[in-house]
Structure 1
């Protein structure tokens, strides 16, 4: 089989805010640079260090709603008072070309993405405890007490839905959590449906 016959893996990673999802995804992309990151559109303001078109595509509410009308998104949702969405065609093109795509989206978006596109494997990153999640959110220094309280309340409802995900990774010690996420990624890349024609190609050269 030619390498370019392989289909890309859609790895959908979700976590409550503050669980360390972004840090783990950056490590995964650094080790596997051929994988792509699905750049979501959002109407929220950039956080310090975030780059437009790299971390997110930052757009106005009016532009986001216009794209909804054009069926631009594979999924979209309103989260914490802001809109987030995953562009559809770019994802499909990347997967068809054999490039893996890593998604950083919320629970609602993960469910819609799986349902609308009928593809992908899901990973939920869990905090080790409520207290540790609260400590991490406060330690970021970028959110008001009211925002932290809202994120903590949302985290409880998000974690309650984690049971339908394909994989659960507890981010207590960062290195150990990354090893688990890395193992998930490598194992999912080997799924037979991502290698159409592989068995036929090998068996076609079988003689005797």
Structure 2
């Protein structure tokens, strides 16, 4: 079959259970919290801690974690620039589905390139919340329990962000969290306060 014709017989089916109906049922709006930063910056730790707090409040959440996604959805991808682009593209599309399902999505990915994050922002629109986990590479290396930075500096890992591949800091993120010096509970509260101010949820 000619790839140019692959979309001809595909028609979007409109659901009767809409996103707004789900928001009414869930008593909160859906959104995507896109945590970005260097390896070791605390993205996953913060995302899961925020999710725990939201879960305790009775809200519907799901964390898309970089390592976990590569066990399934993106297990066929490597770490070349091309693979990273495709990895983030897939995460953006999955996040959009979760948003339509009424879920507060928390993604924890290095997502080092601005163009990839901007593509996700274009896809998700006002539902995209970029949260920069600001942590210098020196501290990230101190936290490196997996030894990834050491292996990257020894040339054992190619295209490693911050060492042999660039990390492009967000230029205008919705929120910057200093994960280098602030305790985790303070970082969590910062994110929760932002969500309340944005009208995603209110304390019950």
Instruction: Specify the TM-score bucket, using the shorter chain as the normaliser.
Output: 0.5 to 0.7
1:26 corresponding residue in structure 2: 48
Structure 2 portions without partners, runs of 5+: 1-22
1:43 corresponding residue in structure 2: none
2:62 corresponding residue in structure 1: 36
Q: CA deviation at 1:39?
A: 5.7
CA distance in 1, matches of 2:196, 2:101: 14
Tell me how large the CA RMSD over aligned residues is.
3.6
Q: Does 1:180 align with 2:192?
A: no
Q: Does the C-alpha gap of structure 1 residues 141 and 32 become closer, same or farther in structure 2, counting only changes over 3 Å?
A: same
1:198 corresponding residue in structure 2: none
CA distance in 1, matches of 2:124, 2:68: 27
Structure with the higher fraction of residues in strand conformation:
1
The two structures have a TM-score, normalised by structure 2, of 0.61
SS of 1:84's partner is helix
CA distance in 2, matches of 1:88, 1:35: 16
Q: Does the C-alpha gap of structure 1 residues 107 and 116 become closer, same or farther in structure 2, counting only changes over 3 Å?
A: farther
Q: Does 1:78 align with 2:100?
A: no
1:124 corresponding residue in structure 2: 132
Q: Is the 8 A contact 1:39 1:56 kept in 2?
A: no
CA distance in 2, matches of 1:130, 1:178: 22
The two structures have a TM-score, normalised by structure 1, of 0.60
Instruction: Tell me how many residue pairs correspond in the alignment.
Output: 164
Q: Does the C-alpha gap of structure 1 residues 52 and 178 become closer, same or farther in structure 2, counting only changes over 3 Å?
A: same
Q: Which whole-Å deviations, capped at 9, do the CAs of 1:149-168 have from their partners, x for residues lacking one? A: 9433368x42x523321111
1:100 corresponding residue in structure 2: 104
Structure 1 portions without partners, runs of 5+: 41-49, 63-75, 196-208
Q: Is the 8 A contact 1:4 1:97 kept in 2?
A: no
2:75 corresponding residue in structure 1: 59
Q: Does 1:91 align with 2:101?
A: no
Q: Is the 8 A contact 2:50 2:191 kept in 1?
A: no
